Copies of this chain bind each other. A is one copy, B any other.
Amino acid sequence: MTSQASAPAYRRLSVEERRSQLLEAALSLFAQRAPEDVSLDDVAEAAGVSRPLVYRYFPGGKQQLYEAALRSAAEELEQCFAEPAEGPLTERLSRALDRYLAFVDQHDAGFSALLQGGSVIETSRTTAIVDGVRRAAAERILDHLVVKDPGPRLRMTVRMWITAVEAASLIWLDEDKEPPLDELRDWLVEQFVAALVASAGSDPGTAAVVRAALVMERPDGVTGVLVRRVLPVVGNAAHLL
């Protein structure tokens, strides 16, 4: 099982480095196939180490390794939404989405297996890790919206959009990564703007957020382009005014 080429490096890694190396090998395997189709043998082989060594680091076996890999992926995903509070909201969101979608692109099969459920390795603990990422992403976005105490309507809008982003990512993987990532990103940002604006209609808290955010938007940004493109489409809704 041990690859000869990497054997010399065997003793040189620290515990933390070795752990990272094994997690990285596991993540890249989970990215290629469903967790239940990855064995500890495969991970040992990919990392160029012996199976007993994998067990020494993850005595709980595959389930433990999977959860550790998941947690490491979760941390990486949460980092995607770390973004300085500068400039128009849609530009910050675009940068966060660029990072998030790059992660989806890189981990495709593993990302699907993780989010679609039905994996034999899924437990209430793994579900909790995934839910933690969703919650963290929602909190980061609410921070950017600069609301001290967001109401239930605004919270629901943000959480629904996050679910929609996940669904769109899965559909995108399923449809051979079409459309190109920058189109998908702009479309997701537009959907967020639309969801916020619609909620603003019946929720004063969201309306205040939208008013403040719109002032910062640039004419050549996503919102400006969206507004100018949408106006002619809704032109024959004059009877609704």
A residues neighboring B (CB under 8 Å): 116-118, 120, 122-124, 126-128, 152-153, 156-157, 159-161, 163-164, 166-168, 171, 175, 178-179, 186-187, 190-191, 193-195, 197-202, 207, 210-211, 214-215, 217, 219, 223-231, 233-234, 236-237, 239-241
Contact = CB atoms under 8 A, between A and B. Distances in A.
Most-contacted residue by chain B among A118, A161, A211, A239 (CB, 10 A)? A118
Contact of A198 (B159, B190, B241): B190
Contacts of A223: 237, 240
A160 B152 contact: no
B214 A190 contact: no
A227 B198 contact: no
Contacts of A236: 211, 214-215
B217 A233 contact: no
Contact of A187 (B122, B153, B163): B153
Most-contacted residue by chain B among A117, A179, A226, A229 (CB, 10 A)? A117
A229 B206 CA distance: 13
B227 A199 contact: no
Given A163-B167, A167-B160, A201-B226, A122 B126 contact: no
Contacts of A201: 190, 225-226, 229-230, 233
Contacts of A126: 118
17 contacts: A152-B179, A156-B168, A160-B164, A160-B167, A163-B164, A187-B199, A194-B197, A197-B234, A198-B226, A200-B233, A207-B233, A210-B233, A210-B234, A211-B233, A214-B236, A214-B237, A215-B236
Nearest to A178: B152
Contact of A240 (B168, B191, B217, B240): B217
A164 B195 CA distance: 11
A21 to B, nearest CB: 30
A107 B197 CA distance: 32
Contact of A116 (B127, B156, B226, B230): B127
A171 B197 contact: no
Most-contacted residue by chain B among A167, A175, A201, A207 (CB, 10 A)? A201
